[in-house]
Structure 1
Amino acid sequence: MRTRGGNSYPLVGTQVTNRRKRVKLPSVLCNFFDTLPDDVVLSILVKLASTADCPADFAAALSTCKRFNGLGLNSFVLSQASVETFAVKAVKWSPSANRFLQRCSDAGNVEACYTLGMIQFYVFQNRRTGAALMAKAAIRSHATALYSLAIIQFNGSGGTKNVKDLIGGFTLCARAASLGHIDALRELGHCLKDGYGIGKNEAEGQRFLLEANARDLASICSTPSPGLIPGRRLNLPPIMTGSPSIGELGFILPPPISHPANRFLSDLFANHTPDPAFRMCSYGGCGRPETRMHEFRRCSVCGVMNYCSRGCQARDWTMGHNKNCRPMVRFPIINAGGR
């Protein structure tokens, strides 16, 4: 196309050196991604891994290019990965998922240590390895790992009934409670009220139960859409009237978000347990199976539900068991030799 002066507009992708000669420019002058330093790419991957909502978010980034795949498996990136990054569902568990979780654990990721420890302890029944991984996370003040180790000590999981360590369980529970773990606070309160693993102190135990209820309420009210709905006061069985939780005071609570390790156990053992003779914790957000017969405690009112801890019992009570719990029917024992 010519202008009024007789000149022509230059074509796209060409450079006019003079009026008679055109030089074609290269289509790609520079690959700016290759010029980025590794530190910048690592910081991008750390941000992605720490904020991922599911494993697919991080896996999609690793499959983008060879550089992302290589730097994405850096130990610094894996150590900062969020718990949802390796929250693999039970139906999608594979050796590659196990290797990735092990690699995150070796990089020092405390959430990966706890998740892999729970899977090793309850699924693969590698008690020593699983407890060691949870202890690795507990040393770095992982409250959930401390509470899980306390449950293992209280129940004697993985061993006989005589291997229970009540003092050790109480110590671990107290450490988790000091870090703000609500179920650990509730378990600690019941231990003090009952004198279980520690000297009996009802006043101090009641204080811990009230603090657990206050923290429970604060965690719910801090959400963008609180799930507290005023309702009718519930008729409670006598066992719960001493220390009512928030759900028993006439509020409907939203279900708490379970840890991915507990969700994995719940999905895996939803239809069956490792041994039919063993029972599962009746609280849906726990997923722990028994490691020996009659390890878990039963609900003293209905005698149907089984719980690995008082924390799971309190959670399941507020999630709906308070409406379905009915006193068990006790049949009198008739002496066959009497009249």
Structure 2
Amino acid sequence: MKTRRGNLYPAAGAPITTSRKRAKRSFSRNNFFNVLPDDIVLSILVRVSSTAESPADFIAALLTCRRFNDLGLNRLVLLKASAETFAVKAEKWSAFAHRFLQRCSDAGNVEASYTLGMIQFYCFQNRRNGAALMAKAAIRSHAPALYSLAIIQFNGSGGSKNVKDLIGGVTLCARAAFLGHIDALRELGHCLKDGYGIGKNITEGQRFLLEANARELAAICSNRSPDKVIKSGDRLNNLHPFLRGANAAVTCAQLISDFGFSLPSPKSHPSNRFLTGWFGNRVPDPLLRICSYGGCGRPETRMHEFRRCSVCGVMNYCSRGCQARDWTMGHNKNCRPSVRVGNVNGVGR
């Protein structure tokens, strides 16, 4: 057997002999990876990008070899990349990260369009471009994008208080709720109960609140993401008994945590984690507030844009969904009534 001390490794600077050329050609012929069709390599890279749990997973694959690096930027690979592939940290933001997200968005990746849209809209205050990117994802039935646009319409984000579009917000929220987005279901339920942007219908509002609780509980029991869509046949058939029967009318107006369920902290979308890191490391306008739910990160775009908890008067929320999640995550233990004038049944409008 020849080793590094053998003739297979001649001294540095030695001329390439015929035997060395023959050995190099033999290695190329026996390297089966190089003869794999591009379609097979692309399918491998699509699998890697769609299951990546962090940007490092995808980048490590691209650095494996030159062929992976060349085919890794193929349109099909970028189209199928998962949301976590774009989970860049705020302190790591760069022109390269922006170009990569834009390239993925141009390839038709809805997660990239939504993530870049949120960053543009809130971090760089490029309202028009950010809203357009989120709309690009919403057109392709991306539930978080639809819900985020609904929040923008409800709050009039990026404009004055007079530019609120309540009907548009309810329409977008209804579309996200149809796709199974829990926060959208809860927001739509409260809109119906309060007659906010839509005709008042307490019965239908309670039904949507019940649906939100049912989906949340089903997600916890199956260890799935709360925003995963539950098929219509599975909605209420296999849920905990307390969501059915005589107590359903009472249950639908409550959160699951109020009944003794210990809810795990939901994992925020990469775009929300970016906002949290961005505004956590930068001093925002002292007159503007950040949503009090730690997993949101949305800032106000004008003074008094967000709604305040009408019980304690301390916490501020961009939406009902963030209020409900923050209540579950611990605000229910810290909220203390204060003497305030106005609505006492939730977040003031």
Please indicate the TM-score interval, normalised by the length of the shorter structure.
Answer: 0.7 to 0.9
- Corresponding position: 1:283 with 2:324: no
Shift of 1:250: 1.6
Provide the C-alpha distance between the structure 2 equivalents of 1:40 and 1:111, rounded to a whole number of angstroms: 25
Q: Paired residue for 1:328?
A: 338
Which AA in structure 1 matches 2:194?
D
Contact 2:209 2:252 in 1 (8 A): no
Contact 2:114 2:145 in 1 (8 A): yes
Contact 2:213 2:252 in 1 (8 A): no
Which AA in structure 2 matches 1:61?
A
Provide the C-alpha distance between the structure 1 equivalents of 2:320 and 2:51, rounded to a whole number of angstroms: 33
Q: Paired residue for 1:255?
A: 265
- The Cα offsets for residues 109-134 of structure 1, whole Å up to 9 and x where unpaired, read as 00000000000000010101000000
Provide the C-alpha distance between the structure 2 equivalents of 1:280 and 1:241, rounded to a whole number of angstroms: 31
- The Cα offsets for residues 30-77 of structure 1, whole Å up to 9 and x where unpaired, read as 222221111111111111111111111111111222221111001111
Shift of 1:270: 2.0
- Corresponding position: 1:264 with 2:274: yes
- The Cα offsets for residues 315-336 of structure 1, whole Å up to 9 and x where unpaired, read as 10111000000012569xxxxx
Cα distance change of structure 1 residues 271 and 328 upon mapping to structure 2, 3 Å threshold: farther
Which AA in structure 2 matches 1:122?
Y
Q: Paired residue for 1:32?
A: 32
- Corresponding position: 1:115 with 2:125: no
Contact 1:150 1:169 in 2 (8 A): yes
Shift of 1:241: 9.6
Contact 2:288 2:299 in 1 (8 A): yes
Decide which moves more: 273-282 or 134-143.
273-282
Q: Paired residue for 1:99?
A: 99
SS at match of 1:269: helix
- The Cα offsets for residues 146-187 of structure 1, whole Å up to 9 and x where unpaired, read as 000000000000000000000000000000000000000000
Contact 1:273 1:280 in 2 (8 A): no
- Corresponding position: 1:215 with 2:215: yes
- Corresponding position: 1:130 with 2:130: yes
* Aligned length, in residue pairs: 297
- Corresponding position: 1:302 with 2:312: yes
Provide the C-alpha distance between the structure 2 equivalents of 1:324 and 1:69, rounded to a whole number of angstroms: 51
Which AA in structure 2 matches 1:43?
S
Contact 2:75 2:107 in 1 (8 A): yes
- Corresponding position: 1:180 with 2:180: yes
Provide the C-alpha distance between the structure 2 equivalents of 1:139 and 1:212, rounded to a whole number of angstroms: 23
- Corresponding position: 1:244 with 2:254: yes
Contact 1:307 1:313 in 2 (8 A): yes
Provide the C-alpha distance between the structure 2 equivalents of 1:303 and 1:99, rounded to a whole number of angstroms: 42
Contact 1:297 1:307 in 2 (8 A): yes
Contact 1:273 1:279 in 2 (8 A): no
Q: Paired residue for 1:159?
A: 159
Contact 1:55 1:88 in 2 (8 A): yes
Decide which moves more: 86-95 or 241-250.
241-250
Cα distance change of structure 1 residues 162 and 93 upon mapping to structure 2, 3 Å threshold: same
Shift of 1:273: 4.8
Provide the C-alpha distance between the structure 1 equivalents of 2:168 and 2:339, rounded to a whole number of angstroms: 37
Provide the C-alpha distance between the structure 1 equivalents of 2:221 and 2:252, rounded to a whole number of angstroms: 24
Q: Paired residue for 2:66?
A: 66
Where does structure 1 differ by over 4 angstroms across 4 or more consecutive aligned residues?
none
Provide the C-alpha distance between the structure 1 equivalents of 2:284 and 2:138, rounded to a whole number of angstroms: 27
Shift of 1:242: 8.3
Contact 1:283 1:313 in 2 (8 A): yes
Q: TM-score, normalised by structure 1?
A: 0.84
Provide the C-alpha distance between the structure 2 equivalents of 1:106 and 1:262, rounded to a whole number of angstroms: 22
Provide the C-alpha distance between the structure 2 equivalents of 1:192 and 1:325, rounded to a whole number of angstroms: 26
Cα distance change of structure 1 residues 44 and 148 upon mapping to structure 2, 3 Å threshold: same
Provide the C-alpha distance between the structure 2 equivalents of 1:271 and 1:49, rounded to a whole number of angstroms: 29
Please give the root-mean-square deviation of Cα atoms over the aligned residues, in Å.
2.1
Which AA in structure 2 matches 1:142?
H
Provide the C-alpha distance between the structure 2 equivalents of 1:53 and 1:330, rounded to a whole number of angstroms: 45
Q: TM-score, normalised by structure 2?
A: 0.81
Q: Paired residue for 1:206?
A: 206
